[in-house]
């Protein structure tokens, strides 16, 4: 069968956005100085901007303005659409910066606990620190823990660590390989080879007491911490792959931090049965990220995150769209009303 799909020129893609209702797009070049909006430079600039970002990326950012009845975008100009893309990009950068700090803190706490209790290389023996019997409800496939499944998970993990160490350019890893007969690095170097998803997986595999010890460091329950970390890992992937963050909606909602509920920060509706249904918009994962950051380091500066979010949220209507009750309540996220302790450990001398 012949391929009937045809690549549109960038000028045609721009025309398509104009046809679908996006304002401020002119394809007619005027020779009159009194009409600078139709200058050749303006048309070229718009085409170049579309070619730089991509038609489907811009279409994604325009989707909240799409009217299903008229089949057109409403109350949206091309310049506002471009600004929305770049403001979301700044939001992703600020969000990713906070998530990276959470990831470092999690790895440091895991390394400190395992190193302090089981020694530098004790983590290689899963039966020492993992849940050894019963069902593990935190593993997606609801794994029944026994010596066989532990050995399988142990083999899988050690393989990943060996591969990661071989590829690593870390000076500490290279020095360890030159000076030791051990195949895998000590736990305080090992955690630096993990992705956030793998660090969460280690937390899920831990014994009940070990999980609780890590959760205590974050001043929350085990269920809250694992749910929050999985949510944050999803947000991290969105940021890393430059996807649309501000319009993101969660399919599975983690628990809401109590202080966020108490301050009525999130948009919610009371249902007929009296229960409260909270938002699944970006406000929820952002409130979790800020909660964990204030617990890890109560002096952490949230200015970049607050600034990028405020640029996107210019009205109470937009605040509700993003999952906040209103702008005033959104600002409460950045107040010093959730103070935590600073106990990261020093990562050395186990």
- Tell me what the mean pLDDT of segment 249-276 comes to: 93
Sign of the CA dihedral 232, 237, 240, 241? Answer: negative
With a pLDDT cut of 70, the percent of the chain lying above it is 90
pLDDT digits (tens, 9 = 90+) for 133-172: 999 988 866 678 999 999 999 999 999 999 999 999 999 9
Phi, psi of 255 (to 5 degrees): -65, 150
- The maximal CA–CA distance of the chain, rounded, in angstroms, is 81
Q: Identify the band that residue 8 occupies on the pLDDT scale cut at 50, 70 and 90.
A: confident
List CB contacts of 201: < 8 A, sequence separation 6 or more. none
pLDDT of 290 reads 96
Q: Which long-range contacts (CB under 8 A, 24 or more apart) does 167-172 make?
A: 168/193
**How far is residue 258 from each of residues 9, 118, 121, 255, measured CA to CA in Å?**
51, 34, 38, 9
pLDDT of 6 reads 76
Q: Identify the band that residue 341 occupies on the pLDDT scale cut at 50, 70 and 90.
A: very low
pLDDT of 348 reads 35
Flag whether pLDDT at 343 surpasses 60: no
Q: How far apart are CA 234 and CA 113, in angstroms?
A: 26
pLDDT of 4 reads 65
Q: Is the pTM of this model over 0.85?
A: yes
Angle at 300 between CA 209 and CA 171, to 5 degrees: 75
Length of the chain: 350
pLDDT of 68 reads 92
Per the CB < 8 A criterion, the answer to whether 235 and 95 are in contact is yes
**How crowded is residue 236: how many other Cβ atoms within 10 Å of its Cβ?**
23
> Residue 204 corresponds to which tokens in the numbers above?
């899920």
User: For residue 50, which of 20, 88, 8 has the smallest C-alpha distance?
Assistant: 8
pLDDT digits (tens, 9 = 90+) for 51-78: 999 999 999 999 999 999 999 999 999 9
Q: 3-class SS at 246?
A: coil
pLDDT digits (tens, 9 = 90+) for 87-101: 999 999 999 999 999
Q: Which residue has the tokens 């970006």?
A: 282
Q: Identify the band that residue 25 occupies on the pLDDT scale cut at 50, 70 and 90.
A: confident
Flag whether pLDDT at 344 surpasses 50: no
**How far is residue 259 from each of residues 36, 265, 328, 335, measured CA to CA in Å?**
52, 9, 16, 12
pLDDT digits (tens, 9 = 90+) for 190-233: 999 999 999 999 999 999 999 999 999 999 999 999 999 999 99
For all residues of the chain together, what is the average pLDDT?
89
CB-side exposure of 307: number of CA atoms within 13 Å?
Answer: 8
pLDDT of 39 reads 65
List CB contacts of 202: < 8 A, sequence separation 6 or more. 110, 157, 194
Q: Identify the band that residue 30 occupies on the pLDDT scale cut at 50, 70 and 90.
A: low
Q: Identify the band that residue 342 occupies on the pLDDT scale cut at 50, 70 and 90.
A: very low
pLDDT of 340 reads 38
Q: Which DSSP state fits 122? A: G
pLDDT digits (tens, 9 = 90+) for 31-47: 445 455 556 778 888 89
């Amino acid at each position: 069968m012949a391929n009937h799909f045809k690549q549109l020129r960038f000028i045609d893609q721009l025309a398509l956005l104009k046809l679908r209702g996006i304002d401020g797009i002119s394809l007619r070049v005027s020779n009159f100085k009194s009409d600078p909006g139709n200058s050749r430079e303006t048309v070229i600039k718009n085409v170049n901007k579309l070619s730089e970002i991509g038609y489907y990326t811009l279409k994604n950012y325009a989707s909240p303005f799409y009217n299903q009845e008229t089949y057109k975008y409403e109350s949206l100009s091309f310049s506002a659409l471009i600004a929305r893309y770049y403001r979301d990009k700044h939001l992703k950068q600020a969000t990713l910066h906070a998530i990276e700090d959470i990831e470092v803190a999690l790895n440091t706490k895991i390394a400190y606990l395992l190193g302090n209790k089981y020694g530098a290389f004790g983590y290689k023996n899963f039966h020492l620190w993992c849940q050894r019997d019963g069902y593990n409800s935190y593993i997606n496939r609801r794994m029944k823990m026994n010596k066989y499944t532990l050995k399988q998970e142990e083999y899988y993990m050690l393989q990943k660590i060996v591969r990661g160490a071989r590829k690593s350019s870390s000076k500490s890893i290279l020095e360890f390989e030159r000076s030791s007969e051990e195949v895998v690095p000590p736990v305080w170097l090992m955690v630096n080879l993990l992705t956030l998803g793998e660090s969460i997986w280690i937390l899920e595999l831990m014994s009940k007491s070990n999980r609780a010890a890590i959760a205590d460091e974050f001043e929350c329950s085990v269920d809250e911490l694992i749910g929050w970390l999985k949510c944050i890992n999803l947000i991290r992937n969105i940021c890393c792959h430059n996807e649309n963050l501000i319009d993101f909606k969660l399919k599975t909602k983690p628990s809401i931090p109590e202080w966020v509920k108490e301050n009525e920060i999130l948009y919610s509706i009371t249902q007929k049965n009296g229960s409260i249904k909270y938002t699944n918009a970006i406000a929820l994962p952002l409130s979790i990220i800020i909660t964990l950051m204030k617990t890890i380091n109560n002096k952490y500066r949230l200015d970049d995150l607050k600034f990028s979010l405020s640029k996107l949220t210019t009205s109470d209507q937009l605040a509700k769209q993003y999952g906040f009750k209103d702008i005033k309540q959104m600002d409460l996220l950045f107040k010093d009303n959730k103070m935590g302790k600073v106990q990261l450990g020093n990562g050395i001398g186990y």
